[in-house]
Amino acid sequence: MIIHKIKEILIAKFGDTVIIDEELDQKQPALIIDPDLIDQVCLTLRNHEELWFDFLSCLTGVDYGLEQKKFGVTYHLSSIIKNHQIVLKTFKENDREINNLPVFKSICAVYKAAEWHEREAFDLCGIYFENHPDLRRILLPDDWEGYPLRKDYQTAENYHQIKIDF
């Protein structure tokens, strides 16, 4: 199984603490990665000749809820040439204050496609990506208040004096 090879390579390069946990009993097995190493891990997975994860198919921001007070990012990587996939997850605790966004390292330098995905996670979940080249809203207007995919988001009644009716 490719996940065992990935674990072996990552632990050899970064040490035992790079993988915080595993979700091997899932339909898409996942490794929980130290958030401080996620950019380096992605670079290693992309450049390693046995793995060659050359495609970021999805990056998703996750709000784990009010009780857990943590946010995460899920990365779906694929190797088109080698025909295998892996899911990486990372998370950080956060006090959920609107002026204290959770901060994760950007992987834009590794995967160009991350520019769009990270902007979307910022726009909808309020996750800040350190070293992103153009981190700004992508789906909502620049002056929109709040982050709609957060569990505690309160839908506005009006936007620029226009009633929002669902």
- pLDDT at 166 (0 to 100): 65
Structure tokens at 53: 């994860």
- pLDDT at 1 (0 to 100): 64
- Alpha-carbon separation of residue 48 from 13, 53, 76, 149, 155 (angstroms): 11, 8, 17, 35, 45
- pLDDT < 50 regions, the chain: none
- pLDDT at 161 (0 to 100): 85
Model pTM?
Answer: 0.94
Rounded-to-integer distance, Cα 138 and Cα 145, Å: 14
Taken in order of first residue, the domains within the chain and their CATH numbers are 2-163 (3.30.460.80)
- pLDDT at 34 (0 to 100): 98
Is 160 strand, coil or helix?
Answer: coil
Q: Is the dihedral of CA 124, 20, 38, 41 positive or negative?
A: negative
